Amino acid sequence: MLEHGGRLRVAAQQYDIPLENWVDLSTGINPDVYPVPPIPPRCWNRLPEDNDGLEAAAARFYGNESLIALPGSQGAIQSLPALFPGIALACLAPIYEEHPHAWERAGNPLSRLPTLSRLLAAGTPNVLLCNPNNPTGQSFTRDDVLTAAESLRERGGWLIVDEAFADAEPENAVVELAGSAQAPQLLVLRSIGKFFGLAGARVGFLFGAPEKLQPLREMLGPWPLSYPSRFVARRALEDAGWQRCARERLASASRRLAAMLAPLGEVHRTALFCSVKTPRVAEVFDRFARRAILTRRFDAHGLLRFGLPGIESEWSRLAGVFHDK
Delineate the domains of the chain, giving CATH numbers in brackets.
8-34+243-323 (3.90.1150.10), 42-238 (3.40.640.10)
Q: Write the Ramachandran bin of 137: left for phi over 0, alpha for psi from -120 to 50, otherwise beta.
A: left
31: preceding bond cis by omega (within 30 degrees): no
What's the pLDDT score for residue 173? 98
Contact 232, 201 (CB under 8 A): yes
Contact 231, 275 (CB under 8 A): no
- For residue 39, pLDDT beyond 90: yes
Nearest residue to 73 via CA among 99, 94, 93, 110: 99
Span 73-99, average pLDDT: 93
Q: Which pLDDT band, with edges at 50, 70 and 90, does 2 fall under?
A: low
What's the pLDDT score for residue 226? 96
Span 156-169, average pLDDT: 97
Q: Which pLDDT band, with edges at 50, 70 and 90, does 21 fall under?
A: very high
What's the pLDDT score for residue 301? 94
Provide the greatest CA pair distance for the chain: 59
- For residue 257, pLDDT beyond 60: yes
The DSSP call for residue 279 is: S
Q: Which pLDDT band, with edges at 50, 70 and 90, does 1 fall under?
A: low
Q: What is the pLDDT of residues 115-159, one digit of tens each?
A: 999 999 888 899 999 999 999 999 999 999 999 999 999 999 999
What's the pLDDT score for residue 324? 74
Q: Which pLDDT band, with edges at 50, 70 and 90, does 50 fall under?
A: confident
How far apart (Å, rounded) are the C-alpha atoms in residues 83 and 120?
A: 22
The DSSP call for residue 199 is: G
Q: What is the pLDDT of residues 186-211, one digit of tens each?
A: 999 999 999 999 999 999 999 999 99
